[in-house]
Structure 1
Amino acid sequence: MGAGHMWRDFPIRSNPPHDWCLLPDTGWDALKLVVLGTEHACRRPRASHESVPRKKDQEGTDQDLNAYLRDGGIEARPSGFEWFIQLPLGFSTGNQLDEHLNQEIMKRDWEPRYPTDTLQAMTAILRPLYEGPGSKTTAE
Protein backbone atom coordinates (compact mmCIF):
# COMPACT_ATOMS: atom_id res chain seq x y z
CA MET A 1 0.00 0.00 0.00
CA GLY A 2 1.22 3.47 -0.56
CA ALA A 3 -0.58 6.34 -2.19
CA GLY A 4 -4.23 6.95 -2.88
CA HIS A 5 -6.84 6.46 -0.22
CA MET A 6 -5.33 3.48 1.55
CA TRP A 7 -6.47 4.34 5.07
CA ARG A 8 -10.16 4.33 4.20
CA ASP A 9 -9.77 0.78 2.88
CA PHE A 10 -9.05 -0.58 6.35
CA PRO A 11 -12.16 -2.34 7.65
CA ILE A 12 -14.01 -0.81 10.58
CA ARG A 13 -14.78 -3.33 13.32
CA SER A 14 -16.56 -2.52 16.53
CA ASN A 15 -15.02 -5.60 18.16
CA PRO A 16 -11.70 -6.72 16.65
CA PRO A 17 -10.93 -10.43 17.17
CA HIS A 18 -9.34 -11.39 20.49
CA ASP A 19 -6.00 -12.28 18.90
CA TRP A 20 -5.62 -8.80 17.42
CA CYS A 21 -3.56 -6.16 19.18
CA LEU A 22 -4.36 -2.48 19.74
CA LEU A 23 -1.48 -0.41 18.38
CA PRO A 24 -0.02 2.60 20.16
CA ASP A 25 -0.28 5.85 18.21
CA THR A 26 3.32 6.01 16.96
CA GLY A 27 4.89 6.30 13.54
CA TRP A 28 6.59 2.92 14.05
CA ASP A 29 3.23 1.27 14.66
CA ALA A 30 1.53 3.10 11.80
CA LEU A 31 4.17 1.63 9.48
CA LYS A 32 3.08 -1.85 10.59
CA LEU A 33 -0.36 -1.02 9.23
CA VAL A 34 1.15 0.02 5.90
CA VAL A 35 3.13 -3.25 5.65
CA LEU A 36 0.31 -5.56 6.74
CA GLY A 37 -2.50 -3.85 4.87
CA THR A 38 -6.20 -4.44 5.17
CA GLU A 39 -6.00 -8.23 5.39
CA HIS A 40 -4.26 -8.17 8.78
CA ALA A 41 -5.35 -4.84 10.23
CA CYS A 42 -8.50 -2.93 11.07
CA ARG A 43 -9.74 0.17 12.84
CA ARG A 44 -12.40 1.03 15.38
CA PRO A 45 -13.92 4.46 16.04
CA ARG A 46 -12.36 6.08 19.09
CA ALA A 47 -14.68 6.69 22.04
CA SER A 48 -16.37 10.07 21.65
CA HIS A 49 -16.68 10.73 25.38
CA GLU A 50 -13.01 11.63 25.88
CA SER A 51 -12.23 14.74 27.89
CA VAL A 52 -11.10 17.99 26.22
CA PRO A 53 -7.47 17.67 27.49
CA ARG A 54 -7.33 14.08 26.21
CA LYS A 55 -8.65 15.18 22.79
CA LYS A 56 -6.00 17.93 22.60
CA ASP A 57 -3.28 15.41 23.53
CA GLN A 58 -4.57 13.10 20.79
CA GLU A 59 -4.53 15.93 18.24
CA GLY A 60 -0.84 16.55 19.00
CA THR A 61 -0.09 12.83 18.78
CA ASP A 62 -1.89 12.59 15.44
CA GLN A 63 0.03 15.60 14.07
CA ASP A 64 3.39 14.10 15.07
CA LEU A 65 2.48 10.68 13.69
CA ASN A 66 1.28 12.14 10.39
CA ALA A 67 4.43 14.26 10.03
CA TYR A 68 6.45 11.04 10.38
CA LEU A 69 4.32 9.30 7.76
CA ARG A 70 4.62 12.24 5.35
CA ASP A 71 8.42 12.07 5.75
CA GLY A 72 8.11 8.53 4.40
CA GLY A 73 5.89 9.54 1.49
CA ILE A 74 2.78 8.06 3.11
CA GLU A 75 -0.49 9.94 3.31
CA ALA A 76 -1.73 11.14 6.70
CA ARG A 77 -3.68 8.62 8.75
CA PRO A 78 -7.18 9.78 9.64
CA SER A 79 -7.84 10.63 13.26
CA GLY A 80 -10.75 9.37 15.31
CA PHE A 81 -9.80 5.68 15.20
CA GLU A 82 -7.99 3.06 17.21
CA TRP A 83 -5.93 0.74 15.01
CA PHE A 84 -5.42 -3.01 15.41
CA ILE A 85 -3.25 -5.66 13.81
CA GLN A 86 -3.62 -9.40 13.77
CA LEU A 87 -0.71 -10.97 15.59
CA PRO A 88 1.19 -13.64 13.64
CA LEU A 89 1.34 -17.23 14.87
CA GLY A 90 3.66 -17.60 17.84
CA PHE A 91 3.11 -14.06 19.12
CA SER A 92 0.68 -13.26 21.93
CA THR A 93 1.42 -9.56 22.45
CA GLY A 94 2.39 -6.52 20.45
CA ASN A 95 5.48 -6.17 22.65
CA GLN A 96 6.66 -9.62 21.56
CA LEU A 97 6.29 -8.58 17.93
CA ASP A 98 8.23 -5.35 18.56
CA GLU A 99 11.01 -7.30 20.28
CA HIS A 100 11.18 -9.62 17.29
CA LEU A 101 11.35 -6.68 14.87
CA ASN A 102 14.12 -5.01 16.88
CA GLN A 103 16.12 -8.24 17.20
CA GLU A 104 15.86 -8.93 13.47
CA ILE A 105 16.91 -5.38 12.61
CA MET A 106 19.93 -5.67 14.91
CA LYS A 107 20.81 -9.16 13.68
CA ARG A 108 20.84 -7.90 10.09
CA ASP A 109 22.92 -4.90 11.13
CA TRP A 110 20.39 -2.48 9.67
CA GLU A 111 20.12 1.07 10.93
CA PRO A 112 16.78 2.41 9.73
CA ARG A 113 16.89 6.14 10.42
CA TYR A 114 14.07 7.37 8.22
CA PRO A 115 10.51 6.18 7.73
CA THR A 116 11.37 4.79 4.29
CA ASP A 117 14.24 2.72 5.76
CA THR A 118 12.03 1.50 8.59
CA LEU A 119 9.27 0.57 6.16
CA GLN A 120 11.74 -1.50 4.09
CA ALA A 121 13.03 -3.28 7.20
CA MET A 122 9.53 -3.99 8.51
CA THR A 123 8.42 -5.30 5.14
CA ALA A 124 11.34 -7.73 4.97
CA ILE A 125 10.71 -8.97 8.52
CA LEU A 126 6.92 -8.90 8.88
CA ARG A 127 5.64 -10.17 5.54
CA PRO A 128 7.17 -13.66 5.92
CA LEU A 129 5.48 -14.02 9.33
CA TYR A 130 2.09 -13.56 7.69
CA GLU A 131 2.72 -15.33 4.37
CA GLY A 132 4.62 -18.44 5.41
CA PRO A 133 3.27 -21.97 5.90
CA GLY A 134 0.93 -22.10 8.86
CA SER A 135 0.48 -18.34 8.94
CA LYS A 136 -2.80 -16.77 9.95
CA THR A 137 -5.25 -15.26 7.56
CA THR A 138 -8.32 -13.22 8.39
CA ALA A 139 -10.48 -15.96 6.91
CA GLU A 140 -9.69 -18.17 9.92
Structure 2
Amino acid sequence: MWAELAETGWDAIIAWSAGAQNLGRLLSSDAGRTVSVVCTRGGVAERFEESFTEKDRQMVDDDVNEYLAAAEIPSRPQGYRWFLRVPSAYHSADAFLRDVHAAVVTAESGGPGHPAQLRPIVETVVQRFYT
Protein backbone atom coordinates (compact mmCIF):
# COMPACT_ATOMS: atom_id res chain seq x y z
CA MET A 1 0.00 0.00 0.00
CA TRP A 2 1.16 3.52 -0.79
CA ALA A 3 0.33 6.91 0.74
CA GLU A 4 0.27 9.92 -1.56
CA LEU A 5 2.19 12.91 -0.26
CA ALA A 6 1.04 16.51 -0.45
CA GLU A 7 2.86 18.98 -2.67
CA THR A 8 4.67 20.67 0.22
CA GLY A 9 8.23 21.08 1.37
CA TRP A 10 7.27 19.38 4.63
CA ASP A 11 6.13 16.21 2.84
CA ALA A 12 9.13 16.39 0.49
CA ILE A 13 11.47 16.23 3.51
CA ILE A 14 9.48 13.29 4.83
CA ALA A 15 9.86 11.57 1.45
CA TRP A 16 13.61 12.21 1.38
CA SER A 17 13.93 10.90 4.94
CA ALA A 18 12.12 7.66 4.11
CA GLY A 19 14.78 6.75 1.55
CA ALA A 20 14.48 5.62 -2.06
CA GLN A 21 13.45 2.10 -1.00
CA ASN A 22 10.26 3.53 0.54
CA LEU A 23 9.50 6.13 -2.10
CA GLY A 24 7.44 5.83 -5.27
CA ARG A 25 6.38 8.23 -7.97
CA LEU A 26 3.99 8.40 -10.89
CA LEU A 27 3.95 10.83 -13.77
CA SER A 28 1.56 13.63 -13.00
CA SER A 29 -0.74 15.77 -15.07
CA ASP A 30 -2.46 18.97 -14.07
CA ALA A 31 -4.99 18.65 -16.91
CA GLY A 32 -8.45 19.43 -15.58
CA ARG A 33 -7.10 20.51 -12.20
CA THR A 34 -8.55 23.62 -10.61
CA VAL A 35 -7.72 25.93 -7.74
CA SER A 36 -10.10 27.73 -5.41
CA VAL A 37 -9.81 31.50 -5.48
CA VAL A 38 -11.24 33.97 -2.98
CA CYS A 39 -11.43 37.66 -3.85
CA THR A 40 -12.54 40.08 -1.17
CA ARG A 41 -13.97 43.40 -2.29
CA GLY A 42 -15.65 45.80 0.08
CA GLY A 43 -15.71 43.15 2.78
CA VAL A 44 -17.55 40.66 0.56
CA ALA A 45 -15.76 37.42 -0.30
CA GLU A 46 -16.33 35.99 -3.75
CA ARG A 47 -15.27 32.38 -4.24
CA PHE A 48 -14.71 30.68 -7.58
CA GLU A 49 -12.65 28.00 -9.32
CA GLU A 50 -9.93 28.65 -11.90
CA SER A 51 -7.84 26.31 -13.99
CA PHE A 52 -4.54 25.25 -12.48
CA THR A 53 -2.04 26.86 -14.85
CA GLU A 54 1.54 26.17 -15.83
CA LYS A 55 2.47 29.20 -13.72
CA ASP A 56 0.70 27.62 -10.72
CA ARG A 57 2.67 24.39 -11.30
CA GLN A 58 5.94 26.31 -11.44
CA MET A 59 5.12 28.17 -8.21
CA VAL A 60 4.35 24.91 -6.37
CA ASP A 61 7.51 23.21 -7.64
CA ASP A 62 9.65 26.27 -6.87
CA ASP A 63 8.27 26.52 -3.32
CA VAL A 64 8.93 22.83 -2.61
CA ASN A 65 12.42 22.94 -4.09
CA GLU A 66 13.30 26.13 -2.18
CA TYR A 67 12.27 24.39 1.04
CA LEU A 68 14.37 21.35 0.13
CA ALA A 69 17.36 23.58 -0.70
CA ALA A 70 17.03 25.26 2.70
CA ALA A 71 17.16 21.77 4.24
CA GLU A 72 20.26 20.98 2.15
CA ILE A 73 18.37 18.34 0.16
CA PRO A 74 18.57 18.20 -3.65
CA SER A 75 15.59 19.39 -5.68
CA ARG A 76 13.12 16.70 -6.60
CA PRO A 77 12.38 15.91 -10.24
CA GLN A 78 9.29 17.75 -11.45
CA GLY A 79 6.21 16.27 -13.04
CA TYR A 80 5.48 13.51 -10.53
CA ARG A 81 3.08 12.56 -7.76
CA TRP A 82 5.06 11.19 -4.82
CA PHE A 83 4.17 8.24 -2.56
CA LEU A 84 5.50 6.61 0.60
CA ARG A 85 5.38 2.87 1.13
CA VAL A 86 3.07 2.19 4.06
CA PRO A 87 4.59 -0.26 6.58
CA SER A 88 2.71 -3.54 6.93
CA ALA A 89 1.63 -2.65 10.49
CA TYR A 90 -0.77 -0.10 8.97
CA HIS A 91 -4.08 -0.88 7.28
CA SER A 92 -4.68 2.71 6.19
CA ALA A 93 -2.47 5.12 4.25
CA ASP A 94 -4.22 8.06 5.94
CA ALA A 95 -3.54 6.67 9.41
CA PHE A 96 0.11 6.17 8.53
CA LEU A 97 0.54 9.75 7.29
CA ARG A 98 -1.31 11.12 10.34
CA ASP A 99 1.04 9.19 12.63
CA VAL A 100 4.15 10.34 10.74
CA HIS A 101 3.08 13.98 10.83
CA ALA A 102 2.10 13.77 14.51
CA ALA A 103 5.41 12.12 15.42
CA VAL A 104 7.39 14.85 13.66
CA VAL A 105 5.38 17.61 15.35
CA THR A 106 5.87 15.94 18.73
CA ALA A 107 9.61 15.48 18.17
CA GLU A 108 10.16 19.08 17.13
CA SER A 109 7.82 20.38 19.89
CA GLY A 110 8.07 24.05 19.02
CA GLY A 111 11.73 23.70 18.25
CA PRO A 112 13.39 24.34 14.95
CA GLY A 113 11.43 26.15 12.33
CA HIS A 114 14.14 26.31 9.70
CA PRO A 115 14.21 23.35 7.29
CA ALA A 116 17.92 22.68 7.93
CA GLN A 117 17.18 22.26 11.64
CA LEU A 118 14.03 20.25 10.97
CA ARG A 119 15.70 17.79 8.60
CA PRO A 120 17.57 15.64 11.19
CA ILE A 121 14.46 15.46 13.36
CA VAL A 122 12.33 14.30 10.43
CA GLU A 123 14.99 11.78 9.35
CA THR A 124 15.10 10.22 12.83
CA VAL A 125 11.33 10.10 13.21
CA VAL A 126 10.58 8.73 9.74
CA GLN A 127 13.22 6.01 9.94
CA ARG A 128 11.56 4.67 13.11
CA PHE A 129 8.49 3.80 11.04
CA TYR A 130 10.57 1.57 8.77
CA THR A 131 12.66 -0.32 11.34
Q: What is the aligned partner in structure 2 of residue 102 from structure 1?
A: 105
Q: Structure 2 counterpart of 1:41, which letter?
A: L
Does residue 39 of the first structure (1) align with residue 42 of the second (2)? Answer: no
Q: What is the aligned partner in structure 1 of residue 111 from structure 2?
A: 111
Mapped partners of 1:91, 1:31: distance in 2: 23
Q: What is the aligned partner in structure 2 of residue 49 from structure 1?
A: 31
| 5+ long unaligned stretches in structure 1 | 1-18, 132-140
Q: Which stretch of the first structure deviates more once superposed, 24-33 or 97-106? A: 97-106
What secondary structure does 1:39 align onto? helix
Q: Structure 1 counterpart of 2:78, which letter?
A: S
| 5+ long unaligned stretches in structure 2 | 35-50
Runs in 1 of length 4+ with deviation above 2 angstroms? 47-53, 87-92, 103-106
Q: What is the aligned partner in structure 2 of residue 61 from structure 1?
A: 60
Higher relative contact order (CA 8 A, sep 6+): 2
- Quote how far apart the aligned CAs of 1:68 are: 1.0
Contact 1:25 1:65 in 2 (8 A): yes
Question: Rg larger in 1 or in 2?
Answer: 2
Pick the structure with more strand per residue: 2
What secondary structure does 1:85 align onto? strand
Mapped partners of 2:63, 2:91: distance in 1: 28
- Quote how far apart the aligned CAs of 1:111 are: 0.8
